[in-house]
Chain A
Amino acid sequence: MQFESFTEFLHMGGYAVWVWWSFVGTLACFALIAIEAVMRRKTLASEARKHAARAERILQARQARKQQKAAH
């Protein structure tokens, strides 16, 4: 450990602003792009689910119409 105390560690020998902003900024960039990727996966999955449900509904409606026609 190069620092005597936690306060000294945070102080970074007077360069706290530069050092901490660099690290926080880097982490924030990676976090943002990671979150974006995960959200996109979720959107894709929900869109696919919606599409599949719609296809299912169309099929059922078609079947119902056919049965109606047959009954007449």
Chain B
Amino acid sequence: MWRWLHPYAKPEATFHLIQKLLPWFLVPGVVLSVLGLVWGLAFAPPDYQQGESYRIIFVHVPAAMWSMGFYVAMAAAGLLALVWQIRTAELALLAIAPVGAVLTFISLFTGALWGQPMWGTWWVWDARLTAQLILLFLYLGVMALYVAFEDERAGAKAASILALVGVINIPIIHYSVYWWNTLHQQSTVTRAITRLEAPSIAPEMLYPLLVNIVAMMLISAVLVMLRLNNEILRREIHRPWALKYLGIAVSTPAANATTEKE
């Protein structure tokens, strides 16, 4: 049933697929980012309590959401790498981690910039904030573990295990605002989308927020794709297909010239 997927385990096939998909993520990503930022910054109405400061939501919430989303994607890559020993999945782990770390960092520092005027403090050891900080350390840990071994594949295996174990932090982050009595407010978007309860956000604010959420997903995906293709190129740099892609002409036996003994 999954046979059609098998060719994509081959790095070369993944590389060419990503090259083809890139513009389909990049163009809508840039368009939606511009739309979302202009809409959120200039056209969305001010909040009746927080005034204009609430506009930080348009970067804070998308970054926080995708910091978790990309973590799950990274853990899924880790599972593929561990169970099926797929090299491309190992490289995906290495490609996603820095982007996820940047998203987590953005959510933390925009949170601090929002917390200072609204809560009167940059940081509190509140359950949500602390769990998010742990997410940042998990990303950094995965990156560090990956390169900590002499043998890259051993590092990839260790990093995959850490990524999988760290998944436990994702529901903790999500439910932290319900399980503990925290300073951080409860989720707005999940509530508005699932419609299980009355939405706590006005549609004039929700729509630009949704645009920004989709935009940040697309832009982050582009960054992951660029990095994954870089990693594939690094691994396969002496293969004929990679040289051909880079436009390097090689006379047939030249690729072996350095290793061949006279």
| A residues apposed to B, CB below 8 Å | 1-3, 9, 12-15, 18-19, 21-23, 25-26, 29-30, 33-34, 37-38, 40-41, 44-45, 47-49, 51-52, 54-56, 58-59, 62
B102 at the A interface (CB under 8 A): yes
Residues of B within 8 A of A38 (CB): 226
Residues of B within 8 A of A22 (CB): 56, 59-60, 109-110, 113-114
| Residues 75-133 of B contacting A (Cβ, < 8 Å) | 98-99, 102, 105-106, 109-110, 113-114, 116-117
Residues of B within 8 A of A45 (CB): 246
- Whether B257 contacts A33 by the Cβ 8 Å rule is no
Other A-B pairs, 9, CB within 8 Å; known A22-B113, A41-B226? A9-B41, A13-B51, A19-B52, A25-B109, A29-B102, A33-B98, A51-B238, A52-B248, A55-B255
- Whether B102 contacts A30 by the Cβ 8 Å rule is yes
The segment from B144-152, B185-193, B229-237 that touches chain A is B229-237
We find that the number of chain B residues with CB closer than 8 angstroms to chain A is 48
The segment from B42-50, B134-142, B169-177 that touches chain A is B42-50
- Whether B230 contacts A44 by the Cβ 8 Å rule is yes
- Whether A54 contacts B258 by the Cβ 8 Å rule is yes
B162 at the A interface (CB under 8 A): no
- Whether A37 contacts B110 by the Cβ 8 Å rule is no
Rounded to whole Å, the gap between the CB of A49 and the closest CB of chain B is 6
Residues of B within 8 A of A37 (CB): 223, 226-227, 230
Contact of B43 among A2, A25, A62 (CB under 8 A): A2
Write the chain A residue with the least CB distance to B110.
A22
- Whether A33 contacts B243 by the Cβ 8 Å rule is no
Given A23-B59, A25-B109, verify A13-B234 contact (CB < 8 Å). no
Rounded to whole Å, the gap between the CB of B218 and the closest CB of chain A is 12
Write the chain B residue with the least CB distance to A23.
B59
Contact of A12 among B55, B246, B255 (CB under 8 A): B55
